[in-house]
């Protein structure tokens, strides 16, 4: 007991920490921050997941708007024919199609595809 009193006399902040209410408060704070099922650390992880999911929601909403605009444009027969010719290289029976691709266009398309796949992850 003398050693404890000497230690408290040498270090005055230990007297503050020896109070039972302070010890309970410290235990409670440690429990809430680290050990509980709903700890602060778990909340941070869940908040990050929520932010990521909200970003995905916004991305998909913009994609839906783009697709709905494309669908609206494709209701016209002339637009359907134009889309089929551009995207799928379709042609009429009496036509020949020559596809000219530049190297710069290929690089831009590959970069766009890479960005799109990275943003989906």
Its pTM stands at 0.51
Identify the weakest region by mean pLDDT among 29-38, 51-60, 99-108. 99-108
Q: Is the pLDDT of residue 120 over 70?
A: no
Identify the weakest region by mean pLDDT among 6-15, 29-38, 62-71. 6-15
Long-range contacts at 65-69 (CB < 8 A, ≥ 24 apart): none
pLDDT recorded at residue 68: 94
Name the one residue in this structure whose structure tokens are 């590959």.
110
The contacts of residue 12 (CB under 8 Å, 6+ apart) are none
Identify the weakest region by mean pLDDT among 33-37, 57-61, 72-76, 115-119. 115-119
Q: Is the pLDDT of residue 65 over 90?
A: yes
* Rounded Cα distance, 95 and 113, in Å: 31
């Amino acid at each position: 007991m003398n050693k404890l009193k000497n230690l408290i006399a040498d270090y005055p902040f230990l007297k503050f920490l020896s109070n039972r209410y302070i010890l309970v408060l410290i235990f409670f704070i440690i429990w809430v921050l680290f050990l509980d099922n709903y700890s602060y650390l778990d909340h941070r992880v869940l908040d990050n997941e929520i932010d990521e999911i909200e970003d995905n929601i916004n991305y998909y909403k913009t994609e839906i708007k783009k697709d709905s605009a494309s669908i609206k444009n494709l209701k016209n027969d002339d637009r359907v024919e134009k889309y089929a010719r551009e995207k799928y290289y379709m042609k009429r029976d009496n036509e020949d199609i020559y596809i000219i691709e530049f190297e710069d266009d290929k690089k831009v398309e590959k970069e766009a595809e890479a960005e799109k796949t990275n943003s989906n992850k």
